[in-house]
Amino acid sequence: MCLLAVLYRLVPESPILVAANREEYYDRPSQPPSIQSGKPRVLCGLDQRAGGTWLGVNQHGMFVGLCNRIGSSDPFGARSRGLLAREVLRCGSARKGVDKAMEELMAHRYEGLNLVVCDAESGWVIHSDGEAEVVPLEEGLNIIGNQDLNDPNDERVRLAHRLLTLQMLDSPVKFLAVASKVFARSPSPPGRPTMVARGSDYGTVSSTLIALSPKPRDAIFQFSAGAPDEAKYEDYSPMLRDILSRGLREARSKAKVS
């Protein structure tokens, strides 16, 4: 399971605002976010077992986030969904990313997934469990767990939506401040929904906060290498600003040539 919130195209100075908790087996090793080699440049963490990622941003300002999905398909022999996320992050836009994801899902069998793909121009969620469905992101607050986008039957999604709408989130600073507290909500008594999951061998292993802005210098990337109720968010913004600046320079160079 994972939980991911995207405030999409509601705040002009940051059209993409993200808060995400990753849940995984504690003994599954991963690397914290770093800039990956190759083009386009990508900032993401890496799953050291399968080589995929659960979340990342590329130099074109495209965000990709992944949650597993509850379904009925047999995962035996299926590819790691994190590999699909890495493939999509190589694309130049969200529309191209969705096309790439659908091609991959038709060609290979993946574990059940919910894949968020968005940039400043368009935003989408792909639900896939044997069959794939593409759903547009709504303008405003979008929350997804291991069921459908903004699923009214998902208790965690409902709780996250309620907690994130208690205040007007009309700036990047306000969104990140509120989301950092909401997504660090400690486990409640058994049977009640909570933001941080903590089991004997599986639970929240990291958390990420992102603000993507038209100006690279305003972009923010914060990462907690553990459950955010116990581990502090560290600032990875310089890495994000570096790849976004590179992308902007390359786009301007291509525009001059054409």
Buried b (16+ CB within 10 A) or exposed e, 46-73: bbeeeebbbbbbbbbbbbbbbbbbebee
121: three-class secondary structure by DSSP: coil
Residue 136 CA to residue 25 CA, distance in Å, equals: 30
The tens digit of pLDDT for each residue in 14-36 reads 999 999 999 999 999 999 999 99
Residue 141 CA to residue 251 CA, distance in Å, equals: 30
Residue 172 CA to residue 255 CA, distance in Å, equals: 30
> Is residue 184 over pLDDT 60?
yes
> Is residue 80 over pLDDT 60?
yes
Helices and strands, number each (H, E), in the chain: 5, 13
Contact 4, 19 (CB under 8 A): yes
Amino acid present at 120: A
Q: What is the pLDDT of residue 187?
A: 87
The tens digit of pLDDT for each residue in 219-250 reads 999 999 999 999 999 999 999 999 999 999 99
Q: What mean pLDDT comes out for the span 71-92?
A: 86
Q: What mean pLDDT comes out for the span 38-44?
A: 96
> Is residue 149 over pLDDT 90?
yes
Contact 8, 16 (CB under 8 A): yes
Q: What is the pLDDT of residue 78?
A: 85
> Is residue 81 over pLDDT 60?
yes
Q: Exposed, middle or buried by CB within 10 Å (0-12, 13-18, 19+), for 166?
A: exposed
Question: Which residue matches tokens 């560290």?
Answer: 234
**What radius of gyration do the chain's Cα atoms show?**
17
The tens digit of pLDDT for each residue in 189-226 reads 777 889 999 999 999 999 999 999 999 999 999 999 99
Q: What CATH number does the domain located at 2-257 have?
A: 3.60.60.10
Cα→Cα distances 187→5, 19, 95, 150, Å: 19, 18, 37, 21
The tens digit of pLDDT for each residue in 97-138 reads 999 999 999 999 998 999 999 999 999 999 999 889 999 999
Q: What mean pLDDT comes out for the span 133-150?
A: 96
Cα→Cα distances 161→94, 140, 149, 150, 195, Å: 24, 11, 12, 9, 11
Q: What is the pLDDT of residue 191?
A: 76
The tens digit of pLDDT for each residue in 47-77 reads 999 999 999 999 999 999 999 998 756 567 7
Q: What is the pLDDT of residue 73?
A: 60
Q: What is the pLDDT of residue 180?
A: 98
